[in-house]
Structure 1
Amino acid sequence: MYFYILSLIVLLIDQGSKWWVRAHMSVGETRGVLAPYLHFEYYQNSGAAFSSFQGYGKWFAYLAVIVVGVIVYYRIKGALRGNLMDIAAGFLAGGALGNALDRLIFGKVTDFIVWGSGSGIMNIADLAINAGVLLLIVGMLLRSWCERRSYSFK
């Protein structure tokens, strides 16, 4: 159940934050939030991460839908089980759907979060995807460690 709830929460927060940025900022505008650690800068990315593949954003929307389908498939199959994996999958699916929705509706993704001195620009969906990948790796490592530990007791 965590999967569905978290996916929806991530999607709603992501879309709400992007709506706010589009409604209250101009492209290229910067606003300090927690200087010097965090500021908002409105950017429209028609490509992928690090502004690569500019103009091919819609293809990444289709890829995101496929990724979410794969996540749902593996959840149904039982390969992604447990609360940690549900949370990881929820972050991944919600983030992927958030950016896919932007790409399908606007043809580009609204990015606005800049950490520190500007090493990159992202949005809530990107943060959720990163958190999901990190939790997925932790979950897989924990599962592997637990399985190895149980074998040593036999």
Structure 2
Amino acid sequence: MPFYIVALLVVAADQLTKAWIRMHLEVGETLFLWGREWTRFENSGMAGSLLQGYARLFGVLAVLFVLGVLIYRRKGEVRGVPFDIALGFLVGGAIGNGVDRLLFGQVTDFIVRSNGILNVADHAIEIGAALLVLTMIVRWARRIRAERL
């Protein structure tokens, strides 16, 4: 259940913030809010604006990724709340950006960071990846410890 809750919350937060940005900022326009810089950018590529013009292809890849995770989860290969939460963030981020790519042919980015302009879905993917790696490391360490006892 945590998987679906996290994924749904990520998609909702991502799509609501993007809709708000699209309504209030023109492309290239900047707003300072809550001590942060928000600049609307439309990206038809992938991370770092690589491969511009292939948004719909990346949208299809997002759909395939989500289907792969759902199949993997159904097989029972992934167990435990930490894995569910990590995969919820990854799937929610993939759906959030996938919706933009398939509907608009580009992704709305607006959160300015030192390494680029991102959105809520991008941050969710980063969080999900970090949680997945952390969960795997913890499980590996526990297994090693149990073997030594």
TM-score by length of 1: 0.93
Task: Give the equivalent residue in structure 2 for 1:15.
Answer: 15
TM-superposed deviation, 1:79: 2.2
Q: Which runs of 5+ in 1 are unaligned?
A: none
Q: Does 1:148 align with 2:144?
A: yes
Task: Give the equivalent residue in structure 2 for 1:107.
Answer: 105
Which residue identity is paired with 1:76? R
Q: Which runs of 5+ in 2 are unaligned?
A: none
Moved beyond 6 Å, runs of 4+: none
Quick one: distance in 2 between partners of 1:24 and 1:93? 27
Q: Secondary structure at the match of 1:27?
A: coil
CA-to-partner distance for each residue in 1:32-75, whole Å, 9 max, x for gaps?
Answer: 1244xx21000000000000000001111111111111211221
Percent of pairs identical after alignment? 47
Q: Given the alignment, which residue of 131, 134, 140 partners 1:138?
A: 134
Q: Given the alignment, which residue of 50, 53, 75 partners 1:52?
A: 50
Q: Does 1:124 align with 2:124?
A: no
Q: Does 1:90 align with 2:88?
A: yes
Quick one: distance in 1 between partners of 2:72 and 2:131? 16
Decide which moves more: 41-50 or 71-80. 71-80
Task: Give the equivalent residue in structure 2 for 1:79.
Answer: 77
Q: Secondary structure at the match of 2:32?
A: strand
Decide which moves more: 130-139 or 70-79. 70-79
Q: Secondary structure at the match of 1:19?
A: helix
Quick one: distance in 2 between partners of 1:123 and 1:41? 10
CA-to-partner distance for each residue in 1:75-118, whole Å, 9 max, x for gaps?
Answer: 12222211111100000000000000000000000000012xx4
Q: Secondary structure at the match of 2:64?
A: helix
